[in-house]
């Protein structure tokens, strides 16, 4: 009969332990990554009354068989910290303490310490695959450190454009130096075609439009030998040629009077003050359009322009102005010139210079047919600020090189207005780390102040043959035990390991409703076992009273 007392005691002890497990679960209902545990009971068989049959066996109460953590998946909470991570599936974060011992955790609350290492709130360092300075992942597991994460500058090597050049734009760029060398008449009837051939020089610091030249020529023309012939001069902006019509229907040699009053300092025409005879001869007439680009007057001697920011070897930014000038208009298609100009403030010579140039030829459908090789009048780009000189920058007007052949379709020449749709360049300044994010494979990507991104490392996860046998170490940590087996460490989403959710934390798996039900059950179990003891005590008391 006395055994029933001990049986009741075992039941009370077991249920008290179960209440302790339930209390611990409830206490950790808000602990990140916490896994609820379950207490398991087993009966105690201590004696056999008669024989060996099961009907004659009496138990001696209950014992606590095990306390097992339940590694069910927890819900996720979104956070604003890029280093907060949650494991979706099997696996544990690997952490190292100051002595070099490894621990394992489902709690993904991480930050960067003063030395740049990724650590949990207790200062344990997160382990993973570190990346080199180029963003390539190594194959050795080590401490993840971000302090050296910085991007050095990259000088621009390529600029690509998507744009449209207006096909019916006038040819621009008339800059005079000497009338006798620059203008030639083609005699051949009442209608005389005038071709302007400019050598790029400058007279009176003034560039002229085709319409201005036509008006000035009409004023300056005078017939020889006292003829009273008059002339009408028009300009064809599509071809860059001037047409001179003899209003009297005569064909006479022509002279150009470059001043309104020859021999005096009266008002000049186009900046010239001398009377210059113009030679007559068709042999010098070409089909090439007239005009020239002048870096001193880029807007007046070019049709369109766009600005692009590039970077030198030190990561300093500089502005390049790219000017487009229509050069010829032909039945087979138009040709354009382009000029990359560095302003005085950005040029090491402290003067505005054309430092790259080339030509673009279009077919009759407006598509780019060919380009000439880029030339560098100064040997390359010479930027101010102490950077490497003669920097070679390629200019792409066809399929993009910067974007890998996608997204940039090059330059066209249609009838619509000039427009730049996209332009890209591959240089950038140096950058410091501004933020970190992780993808589902645990790859940590750094976001830098210069807008670039780079792989900084990859988180590893550890899996165990028997996770429920891991030793609880407190502070959301587990340790390897003989029952758990050795850890199998590798990248997330590999060999059965779960994935990673960035900007998220795994919540506790404690179910309050379930724990309350278990609490009631344990309470009733404790009360019932206490009744066994009190009842046995009453029976023993009656037994003692028999003697009376």
If you count DSSP H runs as helices and E runs as strands, how many of each does the chain have, helices first? 5, 36
Most confident range (mean pLDDT) of 101-115, 158-172, 358-372 is 101-115
Confidence of residue 264 (pLDDT cuts 50, 70, 90): very low
- pTM higher than 0.75: no
The token pair at 386 is 């102490």
Higher-pLDDT residue of 270 and 66 is 66
Q: What are phi and psi of 433, to 5 degrees?
A: -70, 130
Identify the helix (H) or strand (E) that includes residue 516. helix 512-545
**Cβ-proximal residues to 414 (8 Å cutoff; 6+ apart), any chain:** 164, 166, 167, 366
- Looking at residue 311, the DSSP 8-state letter turns out to be E
State the average pLDDT for the chain. Answer: 81
pLDDT tens digits for 390-421?
999 999 998 544 444 444 468 999 999 999 99
Instruction: State yes or no: pLDDT of 179 exceeds 70.
Output: no
What is the CB neighbour count within 10 angstroms for residue 40?
11
Q: Where are the domains of the chain?
A: 2-72+509-545, 76-152+432-506, 158-168+303-425, 179-284
The token pair at 515 is 């724990």
Contact (Cβ atoms closer than 8 angstroms) between residue 422 and residue 383: no
Instruction: State yes or no: pLDDT of 196 exceeds 50.
Output: no
b/e map 85-119, b = 16+ CB within 10 Å = bbbbebbbbbbbeeeeebbbbbbbbbebeeeebbb
Confidence of residue 182 (pLDDT cuts 50, 70, 90): very low
Instruction: Give CA–CA dist 291/242, Å, rounded.
Output: 12
Between 80-94, 193-207, 300-314, 469-483, the lowest mean confidence (pLDDT) is in: 193-207
Give 55's strand partners.
none
Confidence of residue 113 (pLDDT cuts 50, 70, 90): very high
The CATH-assigned architecture of domain 158-168+303-425 is: Sandwich (2.60)
pLDDT at residue 204, as a whole number: 39
Instruction: State yes or no: pLDDT of 107 exceeds 80.
Output: yes
Confidence of residue 469 (pLDDT cuts 50, 70, 90): very high
* CA-closest candidate to residue 391, choices 400, 378, 402, 408: 378
The token pair at 332 is 């087979």
Strand spans (E) along 266-398: 275-277, 304-311, 317-328, 335-342, 353-362, 368-371, 394-396
Give, to the nearest 10 degrees, the angle between helix 512-545 and helix 2-27: 160
Strand spans (E) along 221-303: 221-223, 231-236, 241-246, 254-257, 275-277
């Amino acid at each position: 009969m006395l055994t029933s007392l001990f049986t009741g005691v075992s039941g009370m002890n077991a249920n008290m332990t179960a209440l302790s497990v339930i209390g611990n679960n409830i206490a950790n209902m808000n602990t990140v990554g916490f896994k609820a545990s379950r207490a398991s009971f087993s009966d105690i068989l201590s004696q056999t009354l008669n024989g060996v049959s099961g009907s004659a066996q009496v138990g001696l109460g209950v014992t606590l068989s095990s306390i097992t953590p339940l590694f069910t998946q927890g819900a996720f909470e979104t956070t604003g910290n890029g280093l907060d991570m949650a494991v979706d599936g099997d696996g544990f974060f690997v952490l190292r303490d100051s002595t070099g011992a490894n621990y394992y955790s489902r709690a993904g609350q991480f930050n960067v310490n003063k030395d740049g290492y990724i650590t949990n709130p207790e200062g344990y360092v997160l382990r993973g695959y570190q990346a080199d300075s180029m963003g390539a992942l190594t194959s050795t597991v080590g401490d993840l450190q971000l302090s050296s994460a910085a991007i050095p500058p990259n000088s621009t090597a390529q600029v690509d454009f998507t744009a449209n050049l207006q096909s019916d734009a006038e040819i621009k760029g008339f800059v005079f130096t000497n009338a006798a060398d620059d203008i030639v008449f083609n005699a051949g009837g009442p209608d005389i075609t005038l071709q302007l051939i400019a050598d790029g020089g400058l007279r009176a610091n003034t560039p002229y439009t085709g319409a201005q030249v036509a008006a000035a020529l009409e004023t300056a023309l005078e017939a020889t030998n006292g003829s009273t012939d008059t002339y009408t001069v028009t300009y064809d902006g599509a071809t860059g040629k001037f047409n001179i019509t003899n209003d009297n229907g005569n064909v006479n040699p022509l002279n150009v009077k470059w001043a309104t009053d020859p021999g005096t300092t009266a008002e000049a025409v186009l900046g010239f003050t001398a009377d210059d005879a113009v030679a007559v001869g068709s042999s010098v007439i070409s089909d090439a359009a007239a005009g020239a680009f002048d870096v001193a007057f880029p807007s007046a001697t070019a049709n369109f322009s766009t600005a692009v920011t590039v970077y030198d070897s030190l990561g300093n930014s500089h502005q390049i102005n790219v000017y487009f000038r229509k050069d010829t208009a032909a039945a087979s298609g138009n040709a354009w010139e382009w000029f990359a100009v560095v302003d005085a403030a950005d040029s090491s010579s402290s003067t505005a210079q054309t430092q790259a140039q080339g030509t673009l030829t279009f077919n009759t459908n407006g598509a780019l047919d060919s380009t000439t090789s880029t030339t560098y009048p100064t040997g390359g780009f010479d930027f101010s600020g102490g950077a490497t000189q003669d920097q070679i920058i390629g200019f792409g007007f066809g399929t993009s090189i910067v974007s890998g052949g996608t997204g940039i379709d090059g330059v066209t020449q249609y009838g619509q207005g000039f427009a730049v749709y996209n332009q890209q360049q591959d240089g950038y300044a140096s950058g410091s780390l501004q933020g970190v994010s992780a993808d589902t494979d645990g790859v940590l990507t750094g976001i830098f102040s210069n807008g670039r991104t780079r792989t900084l490392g990859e988180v590893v996860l550890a899996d165990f043959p028997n996770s429920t046998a891991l030793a609880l170490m407190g502070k959301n940590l587990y340790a390897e035990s003989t029952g758990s087996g050795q850890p199998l460490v590798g990248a997330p989403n590999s060999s059965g390991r779960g994935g990673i959710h960035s900007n998220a934390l795994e919540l506790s798996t404690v179910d309050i409703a379930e724990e309350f039900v278990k609490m009631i059950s344990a309470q009733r179990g404790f009360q019932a076992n206490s009744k066994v003891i009190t009842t046995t005590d009453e029976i023993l008391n009656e037994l003692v009273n028999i003697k009376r």
